[in-house]
Structure 1
Amino acid sequence: MTTHTTPTLATPTPRMRLARDWVSKTLADLLLGFALALGCSGLLAQAASSIPISVRAQLAMWLVAPVWMGALGGVYFFSSGWRAWLWLGAANLLVAGVRLAWRLA
């Protein structure tokens, strides 16, 4: 006969860790992932300045959803909610810096 031991709070399992951090990870993506998607969209709009405005606007608009959903799918691979906030925040700062440097150049 096999005995089954239940995990205690002292030894969190991966399922318990995911259950604890999913709210923080989801909020990180909803806020910072959306900002990242908008920033990438702005980069594309700046990079494609030779394309007519109607086409460029459509490309920039349709880029937001895949980038945001990609971030939403990837945010759960972070080991904690804090890491998700830090990495997405750093990615936002990088995109904003590139956009600013491009605008000033």
Structure 2
Amino acid sequence: MWGKSTAAVFLGLPLSVLAVGFAALLSSDQATTTLPWLLLFFVVWIAVMTCTFLFKTGLRAWLWMSGLTVAGYAALHFLKASGLIRIAA
């Protein structure tokens, strides 16, 4: 139980930021859709932390969530560095 709880606490936030960030960046009109996505952040964060307890063991929770977080941030970095995603000013 401690493994799942610590995975939820330490990896839930960055994974939620990644999910909401991708949704906001991939929207067609970032100026009008960013605020609603940010308002949904808390709901996404709670959902991610809740889904952590669906894993069979704490080790699996840590491995899957850390793998998703690293892969997601690597993909985000690649998309921004290649110019495929831009932040609207």
Correspondent of 1:99 among 73, 76, 83:
76
Q: Deviations over 1:24-58 (max 9, x none)?
A: 21111111011100111211222125332xx3331
Structure 1: give runs of 5+ residues left out of the alignment. 1-21
Correspondent of 1:44 among 4, 19, 23:
23
Q: Percent identity?
A: 22
Correspondent of 1:83 among 60, 64, 71:
60
Which structure: larger Rg? 1
Scaled by the length of structure 1, what TM-score is found? 0.67
Say which SS state the counterpart of residue 10 (structure 2) adopts: helix
Structure 1 runs of 4+ with >4 Å offset: none
Task: Check conservation: 2:24, 2:30, Cα contact below 8 A.
Answer: no
Partners of 1:72 and 1:50 in 2: CA distance: 29
CA RMSD for the aligned pairs? Answer: 1.7
Q: Which has the higher contact order (CA 8 A, sep 6+)?
A: 2
Scaled by the length of structure 2, what TM-score is found? 0.77
> What is the one-letter code of the residue matched to 2:30?
I
